[in-house]
Amino acid sequence: MSEATFHYGVMRKRAPAARAGTTSGPRDLRGTPVVGRVAKLFVGQGHGYIRLTNEREVFFHRADVKDNTSFNDLRVGDAVTFELFEDAVSGARALRVARRTRAR
């Protein structure tokens, strides 16, 4: 028997519980590893753009910056590594952005 609730005088059925073994969280997006330079930063708005070697600019959000990199410490011109994710709906986006370190 399904449970029902009253909401503003209207009877509504409760949504069924998630089945065991299914995930309801966001999917883990993956992209192609790429290197670029920070082209624009909008610190107050929490996003910026990275320029690739072919002059294309890709959007990134402060939530896309890796844990060991601070969004507020990034500067225009900094070399960064990231994963380029191509979305058919919203376009290209940089994921897992990190300041590039040189190998010794």
In a domain, 71, yes or no: yes
**What CATH number should be reported for the domain holding residue 46?**
2.40.50.140
In a domain, 89, yes or no: yes
In a domain, 66, yes or no: yes
Residue 25, pLDDT > 60, answer no
- Please tell me the predicted confidence (pLDDT) of residue 88: 85
Residue 104, pLDDT > 50, answer no
Q: What would the pLDDT profile of 35-89 be if each residue is shown by its tens digit? A: 999 999 999 999 999 999 999 999 999 999 998 889 999 999 999 999 999 988 8
Residue 62: other Cβ atoms inside 10 A: 17
The burial of 97, by beta-carbon neighbours within 10 Å (0-12 exposed, 13-18 middle, 19 or more buried), is given as buried
Of 78, 69, 81, 70, the C-alpha closest to 39 is 78
Domain that residue 79 falls in: 32-99
In a domain, 68, yes or no: yes
24 backbone φψ class: left, alpha, beta (φ>0; ψ -120 to 50): alpha
| Total tally of structural domains belonging to the chain | 1
- Please tell me the predicted confidence (pLDDT) of residue 67: 85
- Please tell me the predicted confidence (pLDDT) of residue 22: 55
pTM listed for this prediction = 0.69
